């Protein structure tokens, strides 16, 4: 091999080695790599340095990072990346992506030149007055001690009721109560807060019939009940009678994530906020997100209703993709996608935690067959034992051929899946393949109205429910007794429920193939 070829090969190896140093994931909106931008090392004058990061790809949905230092006695770092030396020594700075991808970058910095004690903030106090005229005001700031080395802060508010500038100018948007925060930028962790009542705001904002209707029916706890069972009814202006009913039920506790409630309303509110800039819609959407955070069990599941837990409402509910839709909201918050980038940035870390806890409960509730093989999931699970549970009389403990599809897709969202997550997905797909029903289809009839099963060579379907012991499909009417065929249950249930479907067909085909390719399986 001549020298030119050797040099080319050597450069190529170096390039590949350098590229392999950082973790990488597919360019799907998640973080692929982080570079800490810091040109001068070591620090020789003992002064603070502002660090920044370059996050790739540029299409990453959430480019925020969490800053930490290996030894907080040597240096402190704020969440804006301001590194404050405290004494001479060596410290490693870490920047970790907040999008849940696990991507991080470290840089080691040697500090000298610290000649005297660095004084960190010990308290932050905000001054201001309740607003009675809806006008902006300059808030005051007192950061102690007086000789603190760095007296700058980052301002934020608790909700969209008011906004605040980088210099502490508070601008009311709506009447109500808001909490203002001032976070010290020296890495001390000190935060000042002030609660103010705002009144006198008379600004008229653009409105949408849909969101105005949603606001009318939103309960005091941030959720919605089933008083509006057909979500499309929000597109119609509510009558005086409906408004009165909504007002009288504001404090009712039968708020639910069933049938797309809460997740649908908050997404529509954000969509309409984006087009109108009406802060009422953003405040209501954030209140709904708070409801979802509050409703989540410590083990990661969500009940069908919260806080009303009567009957089967307390169970962890996958039925009709209830939890899947909540998990998608959490995912979109963490990725700043689908208008969830409009909400308070403080929700991102909460959403990552909620999503990860949701993944944990999905793994724990995956059903094991009598033969010891993991299968799929029931439409609802007991929140304590985590076992498949009974809901309505015809919704018996079982393996669901429908709800399990959305659950598996949720697992596939995990960007760096553990061996446990990978195995759970594989086991679910294996079960879907084993649960195929061949050569039939359902057919609706009229006069009389009915649904019947007929031959259909080559067609593949799945049943809604499979027996936990035998693994065979079953059907059930309001008497709660399992039947082997659809024809054995009453017409009302035959025609009023989805007993067969092709729900997993796309999942176990192209989606599963793409997922395996993405993760090198």
Instruction: List the end-to-end C-alpha distance of the chain, in Å, as a whole number.
Output: 36
Residue 413 token pair: 């969202």
Show which of 78, 111, 144 is a domain's final residue. Answer: 111
Residue 190 resides in a domain:
yes
CA distances from 424 to 225, 391, 417, 419 (A): 33, 25, 10, 9
Question: Is residue 91 within 8 Å of residue 69, measured between CB atoms?
Answer: yes
Residue 333 token pair: 């918050």
Q: Assess whether 91 and 32 both reside in one domain.
A: yes
Spell 168-181 as b/e; 16+ CB within 10 A means b. Answer: bebebbbebebebb
Of 27, 41, 125, residue with least CA distance to 83: 41
Question: Is residue 231 within 8 Å of residue 214, measured between CB atoms?
Answer: no
For the chain, counts of helices (H) and of strands (E): 12, 25
- Calpha distance 339→267 (Å, rounded): 8
Q: What are residue 36's phi and psi, to 5 degrees?
A: -85, 120
pLDDT at 7: 38
Helix segments in 254-339, DSSP class H? 263-276, 279-295, 322-335
Q: What Rg, from alpha-carbon coordinates, does the chain have?
A: 28
Q: Assess whether 100 and 230 both reside in one domain.
A: no
Residue 12 resides in a domain:
no
Burial of 482 (0-12, 13-18, 19+ CB in 10 A): middle
Spell 256-291 as b/e; 16+ CB within 10 A means b. Answer: bbbbebbbbbbbbbbbbbeeeebbbbbbbbbbbbbb
For 313, other C-beta atoms within 10 Å of its C-beta total 18
For 504, other C-beta atoms within 10 Å of its C-beta total 25
Show which of 65, 82, 111 is a domain's final residue. Answer: 111
Helix segments in 336-402, DSSP class H? 347-365
Q: Assess whether 133 and 28 both reside in one domain.
A: no
Residue at token pair 């724990």: 364
Residue 169 token pair: 């100018």
Of 153, 86, 159, residue with least CA distance to 125: 153
Most distant CA pair in the chain, distance? 93
Question: Is residue 331 within 8 Å of residue 323, measured between CB atoms?
Answer: no
Q: Assess whether 192 and 222 both reside in one domain.
A: no
- The neighbouring-strand residues paired with 171 are 163
Residue 16 resides in a domain:
no
Q: Assess whether 321 and 393 both reside in one domain.
A: yes
- Calpha distance 458→438 (Å, rounded): 7
Q: Assess whether 39 and 142 both reside in one domain.
A: no
| Secondary structure E strands in 150-215 | 153-157, 162-164, 169-172, 176-184, 191-198
SS3 340: helix
Q: Assess whether 60 and 128 both reside in one domain.
A: no
Statement: the pTM of the whole predicted model exceeds 0.85: no
Question: Is residue 184 within 8 Å of residue 156, measured between CB atoms?
Answer: no
| Secondary structure E strands in 99-161 | 104-111, 123-127, 137-138, 140-144, 153-157
SS3 139: coil
Show which of 66, 82, 111 is a domain's final residue. Answer: 111
Residue 181 token pair: 């925060």
CB-side neighbour CA atoms (13 Å) of 291? 30
Residue at token pair 């969830």: 340
Q: Assess whether 176 and 222 both reside in one domain.
A: no
Each residue's pLDDT expressed in tens, for the chain with a length of 521 residues: 444 444 333 334 333 333 333 333 345 668 889 988 876 678 888 888 888 888 888 667 778 899 999 999 899 898 888 888 889 999 999 999 988 888 999 999 999 988 878 888 999 999 999 999 999 999 999 999 999 988 889 999 999 999 999 999 999 999 999 999 999 988 788 999 999 999 999 999 999 999 999 999 999 999 999 999 899 999 999 999 999 999 999 999 999 999 999 999 999 999 999 999 999 999 999 999 999 999 999 999 999 999 999 999 999 999 999 999 999 999 999 999 999 999 998 899 899 999 999 999 999 999 999 999 999 999 999 999 999 999 999 999 999 999 999 999 999 999 889 999 999 999 999 999 999 999 999 999 999 999 999 999 999 999 999 999 999 999 999 999 999 999 999 999 999 999 999 999 999 999 999 999 999 99
Residue 205 resides in a domain:
no
Residue 502 resides in a domain:
yes
- Calpha distance 425→376 (Å, rounded): 9
Residue at token pair 């060596």: 90
- Calpha distance 466→402 (Å, rounded): 11
Of 412, 411, 162, residue with least CA distance to 283: 162
Q: What are residue 147's phi and psi, to 5 degrees?
A: -100, 20
Residue 510 resides in a domain:
yes
Residue 4 resides in a domain:
no
Residue 282 resides in a domain:
yes
Whichever domain contains 171, its CATH number is 2.60.40.1080
pLDDT at 18: 36
Whichever domain contains 454, its CATH number is 1.50.10.20
- Calpha distance 359→428 (Å, rounded): 14
- Residue 162's domain comprises 123-198
The 3-class SS string of 359-414 reads HHHHHHHCCECCCCCECCCCCEECCCCCCECCCCCCCCCCEECCHHHHHHHHHHHC
Q: What are residue 268's phi and psi, to 5 degrees?
A: -65, -40
pLDDT at 24: 37
Q: Assess whether 45 and 159 both reside in one domain.
A: no
Q: Assess whether 185 and 248 both reside in one domain.
A: no
- Calpha distance 366→360 (Å, rounded): 10
Q: Assess whether 134 and 220 both reside in one domain.
A: no
Q: Assess whether 445 and 513 both reside in one domain.
A: yes
Domain count, the chain: 3
Residue 134 token pair: 């809806």
């Amino acid at each position: 091999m001549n020298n030119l070829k050797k040099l080319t090969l050597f450069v190529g190896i170096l390039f590949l080695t350098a590229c392999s140093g950082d973790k990488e994931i597919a360019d799907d909106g998640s973080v692929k790599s982080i570079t800490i931008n810091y040109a001068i090392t070591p620090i020789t004058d003992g002064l603070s340095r502002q660090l920044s990061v370059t996050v790739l790809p540029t299409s990453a949905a959430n480019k925020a990072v969490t800053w930490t230092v290996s030894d907080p006695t040597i240096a402190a770092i704020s969440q804006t990346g301001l590194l404050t030396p405290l004494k001479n020594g060596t410290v490693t700075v870490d920047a970790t992506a907040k999008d849940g991808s696990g991507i991080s970058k470290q840089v080691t910095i040697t500090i000298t030149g610290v000649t005297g004690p660095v004084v960190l903030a010990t308290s932050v106090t905000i001054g201001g007055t309740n607003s009675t005229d809806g006008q902006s005001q300059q808030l005051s700031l007192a950061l102690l001690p007086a000789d603190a080395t760095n007296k700058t802060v980052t301002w934020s508010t608790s909700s969209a009721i008011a906004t605040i500038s980088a210099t502490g100018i508070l601008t009311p948007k709506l009447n109500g109560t808001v909490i203002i925060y001032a976070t010290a930028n020296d890495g001390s962790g000190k935060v000042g807060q002030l609660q103010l009542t705002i009144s006198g705001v008379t600004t008229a904002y653009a409105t949408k019939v849909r969101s105005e209707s949603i606001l009318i029916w939103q309960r005091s706890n941030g959720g919605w009940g089933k008083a509006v069972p057909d979500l499309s009814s929000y597109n119609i202006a509510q009558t005086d009678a409906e408004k009165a009913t909504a007002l009288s039920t504001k404090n009712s506790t039968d708020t639910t994530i069933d049938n797309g409630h809460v997740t649908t309303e908050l997404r529509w509110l954000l969509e309409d906020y984006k087009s109108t800039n009406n802060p009422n819609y953003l405040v209501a959407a954030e209140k709904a997100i708070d409801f979802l955070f509050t409703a989540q069990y410590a083990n990661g599941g969500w009940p069908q209703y919260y806080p009303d837990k009567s009957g089967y409402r307390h169970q962890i509910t996958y039925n009709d993709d209830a939890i899947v839709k909540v998990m998608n909201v959490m995912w979109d918050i963490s990725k700043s996608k689908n208008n969830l980038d409009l909400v308070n940035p403080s929700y991102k870390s909460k959403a990552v935690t909620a999503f990860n806890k949701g993944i944990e409960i999905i793994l724990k509730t995956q059903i094991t067959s009598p033969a010891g093989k993991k299968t799929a999931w029931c439409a609802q699970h007991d929140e304590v034992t985590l076992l498949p549970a009974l809901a309505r009389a015809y919704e018996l403990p079982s393996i669901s051929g429908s709800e399990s599809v959305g659950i598996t897709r949720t697992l596939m969202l995990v960007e760096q899946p553990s061996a446990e997550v990978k195995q759970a997905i594989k086991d679910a797909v294996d079960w879907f393949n084993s649960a195929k029903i061949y050569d039939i289809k359902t057919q609706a009839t009229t006069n009389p109205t009915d649904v019947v099963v007929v031959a259909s060579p080559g067609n593949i379907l799945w049943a809604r429910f499979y027996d936990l012991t035998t693994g065979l499909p079953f059907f059930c009417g309001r008497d709660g007794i399992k039947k082997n065929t659809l024809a054995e249950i009453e017409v009302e249930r035959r025609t009023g429920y989805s007993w067969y479907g092709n729900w997993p067909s796309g999942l176990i085909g192209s989606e599963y193939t793409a997922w395996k390719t993405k993760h090198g399986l």
